[in-house]
Chain A
Amino acid sequence: MSDSWSAYGVTLHSRFLLGTALYPSPQVMQAAVQASGAEIVTVALRRQSPAAGGGRSIWEFIRGLGKILLPNTAGCHSAKEAVTLAQMSREIFQTNWIKLEVIGDDYNLQPDPFELLSAAQQLVAEGFAVFPYCTDDLVLCQRLLDVGCEVLMPWGAPIGTGKGLLNPYALQTLRARLPAVPLIVDAGLGLPSHACAAMELGCSGVLLNTAVAKAADPVAMARGFRLGVEAGRAAWLAGAMPERQTAAPSTPVVGTPFWQQ
């Protein structure tokens, strides 16, 4: 069965997007990405002195994966910073895709919705395909679509917390109200069951990094998440049975003596 999705005109099959930072070594990172089955990997460049090509060796390792690169603006705190970094990343990686992160709170790494919207608007106008890392607020998401984003990346929980979906209601609302938009849950997932839960809610995919990179065995955890994403997606497509308050036996009870019921 074909179960593809698309982002900015590119047809994709894997619903698991993986980050390339924080691994014990580039070699482990490469093995984890292969085990994840991801087609898209994110790459950060804010602190690598990108203008001077400071990260070129690690970028070569990442390019060597043969995956679609999604550079991000992690570490930016204003629209101006993020736009400048996006322009630089377009030159370095020869792609107009950008995962737009604008941080509003340094300790929580919580997105700044106001700067994010402003940066998204500017970048779309400059021809970028913007993947905005946002909170799960419906109105913000709608505004991001209004300025030309075609994909949304609401958080599950703050980056690196591994807490899973803090507000499934908000994600369900986004799914219900914006049914045609690819929704990628980005950040805050710690376990494959969290990824599975996001997919069961009808999200289009998940993006994570720390949960795999900081696992005792990142390669095994990448595989675990891949299976979690596949399980949740299968459940969404299959359609879940309705929940009931009382037990209902799966074996027919007709013919069973009443005193045994």
Chain B
Amino acid sequence: MDIAIAGAGLCGRLLGWQLLRAGHRVTLYDRDAAGAASAGYIAAAMLAPFSEAVSVGPEVLEPGLAAQQQWADWLQVLAADSGVEVPFERNGSVLVAHGSDRSELHWFYRRLQVMAALQPGHSEWLDRQRLAALEPDLQEFAEGVLLPREGWLDNRALYRALRLAIDALGGVWRCGETISSVEPGLVRSGAAGAGQGSAQHFELVLDCRGFGARDQLANFRGVRGEVLRVRAPEVRLSRPVRLMHPRYQLYVVPRAEQVYVIGATEIESESLGPVTVRSTLELLSALYAINRGFAEAEVLEARAHCRPAFADNLPRIVQGDRLLRVNGLYRHGFLLAPALVQSVLSLLDGGVTCAPVKFEHCNQSAGAARPLEVKA
């Protein structure tokens, strides 16, 4: 099949790679092949099914655990296709809280016991000694929680690897063009400011533009997130650290060479403007509270984007004629992209979506998944 993918962010490039491997012809549209303007590119890329289940609901727990295995399998194949080994760690994450927010940590732990009751070894309460043994640079904290089955992957290395794999498999890139519309069986695009642009027809179009597809989707919104990257030679954390805070959960996720990603604010706004002073203060105070050694860190980046989300904050595939709109990963890009990608592949095979991905036809409310009828 001749397939176009509008938007080569996380979902678009994963689908492009998988569809090329399945023998389809794939054309990817994006402003830049690096994907630097996509929400997944600035994300911390935590794989935290337990923490997220407590924060947003139990629906993400099982799919999130399945995702970890899927990533392990995918990254092995991707290394062969692209020649890039994407850093991927599953050595757990740690939750801590400062003095007056300790009740948040206890609350979180209690909720986790109920929610993850069927998952053996999902968590461990840490006293000061045990915490210091795991993460010596968290000595400020008297207690914490270890979630041994959580992890992270290096999203930017992944983007690079997927680009190389798509090239190697013969995928076509239409970069440097602005998409003016994504319609049944066609994509209109052109140079920025060139009006309607030219239309190109396909047997199937996958609209993976994330927040960029806002005007085509009902009950859809952007949720602003702000993320910093710092280099901190004085601090060594070997796993993601989540700091409980009465208003947000802020996390610090390690990357190679003592770079850390700090995120993320969560604001019900669709502003794509630069990071605000208030958010910077909040993120940096969290960082400084975790370890004073962060005071001398270099701020490498401060970026904002909008997470694409439906009303229930769960991903969804909306089917039209020769068109699938694949969207709504919200703050679970890396946790739920495997389920979303597998759902698209399953629909193309005449199957159904997998949980928690919802399915609906255009102009129809959400219902049970139905087989995809692609008109050639």
B is a partner of A: yes
Contacts of B312 on A, CB cut-off 8 Å?
A: 25-28
Whole-angstrom distance between the alpha carbons of A53 and B214 in the complex? Answer: 14
Beta-carbon contact of A25 and B267 below 8 Å: no
Beta-carbon contact of B222 and A57 below 8 Å: yes
Across the interface, B313 reaches (CB within 8 A) one of A24, A52, A53, A54, namely A24
Contacts of B311 on A, CB cut-off 8 Å?
A: 25-27, 30, 61
A161 to chain B, nearest CB (A): 9
Is B135 among interface residues, defined by CB-CB distance under 8 A?
no
Is B57 among interface residues, defined by CB-CB distance under 8 A?
yes
The secondary-structure label for the interface of chain A is loop
> What residue in chain B is nearest A43 (Cβ atoms)?
B268
Contacts of B246 on A, CB cut-off 8 Å?
A: 160
Across the interface, A52 reaches (CB within 8 A) one of B268, B271, B314, namely B271
B304 to chain A, nearest CB (A): 10
Beta-carbon contact of B273 and A49 below 8 Å: yes
Beta-carbon contact of A24 and B56 below 8 Å: yes
Beta-carbon contact of A54 and B271 below 8 Å: yes
Beta-carbon contact of A107 and B224 below 8 Å: no
A220 to chain B, nearest CB (A): 14
A32 to chain B, nearest CB (A): 13
Question: A24-B56, A24-B57 are known contacts. Are A48 and B111 too (CB-CB below 8 A)?
Answer: no
Beta-carbon contact of A54 and B100 below 8 Å: no
Is A58 among interface residues, defined by CB-CB distance under 8 A?
yes
Across the interface, A216 reaches (CB within 8 A) one of B56, B111, B271, B276, namely B111
Is B269 among interface residues, defined by CB-CB distance under 8 A?
yes
Across the interface, A54 reaches (CB within 8 A) one of B55, B270, B278, B314, namely B270
Contacts of A27 on B, CB cut-off 8 Å?
A: 311-313
> What residue in chain A is nearest B100 (Cβ atoms)?
A107
Is A56 among interface residues, defined by CB-CB distance under 8 A?
yes
Is B141 among interface residues, defined by CB-CB distance under 8 A?
no
B215 to chain A, nearest CB (A): 11
Beta-carbon contact of A55 and B56 below 8 Å: no
A120 to chain B, nearest CB (A): 24
Contacts of B273 on A, CB cut-off 8 Å?
A: 49, 52
Is A244 among interface residues, defined by CB-CB distance under 8 A?
no
Whole-angstrom distance between the alpha carbons of A107 and B221 in the complex? Answer: 30
Beta-carbon contact of A58 and B313 below 8 Å: no
Contacts of A58 on B, CB cut-off 8 Å?
A: 221, 268-269
Most chain B CB within a 10 A radius of its CB, from A27, A28, A47, A57: A57
Contacts of B71 on A, CB cut-off 8 Å?
A: none
Across the interface, B268 reaches (CB within 8 A) one of A24, A30, A48, A160, namely A48
B43 to chain A, nearest CB (A): 19
Contacts of A107 on B, CB cut-off 8 Å?
A: 100
Whole-angstrom distance between the alpha carbons of A56 and B219 in the complex? Answer: 12
Most chain A CB within a 10 A radius of its CB, from B100, B114, B311, B312: B311
Beta-carbon contact of B111 and A55 below 8 Å: no
Contacts of A52 on B, CB cut-off 8 Å?
A: 271, 273
Contacts of A53 on B, CB cut-off 8 Å?
A: 270
Beta-carbon contact of A57 and B267 below 8 Å: no
> What residue in chain A is nearest B279 (Cβ atoms)?
A47
Contacts of A26 on B, CB cut-off 8 Å?
A: 219, 221, 311-313
Beta-carbon contact of A55 and B268 below 8 Å: yes
- Please report which residues of chain B, range 185-199, place their CB below 8 angstroms from some CB of chain A when the two chains form the complex: none
A34 to chain B, nearest CB (A): 14
> What residue in chain B is nearest A62 (Cβ atoms)?
B268
> What residue in chain A is nearest B54 (Cβ atoms)?
A216
> What residue in chain A is nearest B276 (Cβ atoms)?
A47
B334 to chain A, nearest CB (A): 19
Whole-angstrom distance between the alpha carbons of A254 and B313 in the complex? Answer: 67
Beta-carbon contact of B271 and A48 below 8 Å: yes
Beta-carbon contact of B56 and A57 below 8 Å: no
> What residue in chain A is nearest B223 (Cβ atoms)?
A58
Contacts of B271 on A, CB cut-off 8 Å?
A: 48-49, 52, 54
Q: B149-174: contact bitstring with A at CB < 8 Å (1 yes, 0 no)?
A: 00000000000000000000000000
> What residue in chain A is nearest B110 (Cβ atoms)?
A216
Q: B326-339: contact bitstring with A at CB < 8 Å (1 yes, 0 no)?
A: 00000000000000
> What residue in chain B is nearest A20 (Cβ atoms)?
B268
- Please report which residues of chain A, range 43-70, place their CB below 8 angstroms from some CB of chain B when the two chains form the complex: 47-49, 52-58, 61
Q: B270-288: contact bitstring with A at CB < 8 Å (1 yes, 0 no)?
A: 1101001010000000000
- Please report which residues of chain B, range 61-118, place their CB below 8 angstroms from some CB of chain A when the two chains form the complex: 100, 111, 114
- The 30 sampled A-B contact pairs (Cβ below 8 Å) are A25-B56, A25-B311, A25-B312, A25-B313, A25-B314, A26-B219, A27-B311, A27-B312, A28-B312, A47-B267, A47-B276, A47-B278, A48-B267, A49-B269, A49-B273, A52-B271, A54-B269, A54-B270, A54-B271, A55-B269, A56-B270, A57-B214, A57-B220, A57-B222, A57-B268, A57-B270, A58-B268, A61-B221, A107-B100, A160-B246
- With A54-B270, A61-B311, A216-B111 given, can you name 5 additional A-B contacts, CB distance below 8 Å? A21-B268, A25-B309, A26-B221, A49-B269, A61-B219
**Which positions in A face B, CB cutoff 8 Å?**
21, 24-28, 30, 47-49, 52-58, 61, 107, 160, 216
The 10 A-B residue pairs with the shortest CB-CB distance in the complex, in nearest-first order:
A57-B221, A54-B269, A49-B271, A54-B271, A48-B269, A25-B313, A58-B268, A27-B311, A27-B312, A26-B311
